[in-house]
Amino acid sequence: MKVTELTDALIDLALAEDIGDGDHTTLSCIPIQAIGQSKLLIKQHGILAGVDVALEVFQRVDPDLQVEVFLNDGAEIHRGDVAFIVSGSVRSILQAERLVLNIMQRMSGIATVTHRYVRQLEGTSAKVLDTRKTTPGMRMLEKQAVKIGGGT
């Protein structure tokens, strides 16, 4: 399997697990025609990772969602920054939200810690390497996050 196939399989599995037979709260409370937008507001300093995967999730949930990206993978981020704004069906945004946040929080955390270690090792011959000891199903994303943070 290619990395994209693994990512696609993870997205499919995660959406099926999270939404199942439907997001009952959203289905009962949000009108089908409701249109809106949401922004990813950064809560703390670090290195952003997972934007590309988030775009895939939004596309998979609803190809009509529009995403305006302000910060890309690898960007140094600060509290209050806005990474992107997604616009379109409120139901679709809410269906994608949890998976997008979970993936981006995990990947950004890994990228941030990796970046800290890489900076501490500057001037030495040491390198930060990823490991095969990863979370089941998340290996490719976790390894990608290490690279985004400056590791190998």
Residue 133 designated active-site: yes
Residue among 39, 133, 143, 147 flagged as catalytic: 133
Written as one string, the DSSP assignment of 72-139 is -TT-EE-TT-EEEEEEEEHHHHHHHHHHHHHHHHHHHHHHHHHHHHHHHTTTSS------S---TTTH
Q: Which residues of 62-73 are buried (b: 16+ CB within 10 A; e: fewer)?
A: beebebeeebeb
Residues acting as catalytic residues: 133
